[in-house]
Amino acid sequence: MVFNYYARLSARNKRIYQASDAIEIISLPDAAVLRPVAARLPEALSTDRRALVEAVCNALAAAMLQQLQTPPVNIKVMAARPSNDYGELHGFYEGVEGRLRVAKITLWMRTAQRKQVVAFRSFLRTLLHELCHHLDYEYLKLDDSFHTQGFYKRESSLFHQLVTEQAAGKLKEQGR
């Protein structure tokens, strides 16, 4: 199944879309080593300290990218999400172009309307979503990064490698 915008893509972009859609998993070589880093994120979010959340995100991303032998990315965590009539912005990926020598991810840790800290699972999924854009370019060597079913499956595969069912159940009990 393809998303509605597929019909408007050029032949070249349809080939990129199809290649992306066909890849459903990114296997982390040693996810067990990364889980303790990911497990620091709920506590960091609960402190509502932007700098601490940013540090944990950068540590997790650096460790993941090192395992995948992929170029680094800088992560900046901002306070409340920007919003407009279109909706809220959760995260934003900027690839290496022009003056930007290292790719950049910007994440927002509070909702736009209520200014509440985002729940752990949602925040981690946003981080992984933006990392998947980076991995599309740098690890999978795709010429573009489309939102395909394969893209969302890759994001989900990373989440489930980092957060075990046992850990997810524990977080649910804690309301995170």
pLDDT at residue number 40: 97
Residue 116 has what pLDDT? 86
State which residues of the chain have pLDDT below 70. Answer: 1, 81-89, 98-100, 112, 166-176
Q: List the domain boundaries for the chain.
A: 27-165
- Looking at residue 114, its pLDDT comes to 73
Going by their DSSP bridges, the two strands 91-94 and 83-84 should be labelled as unpaired
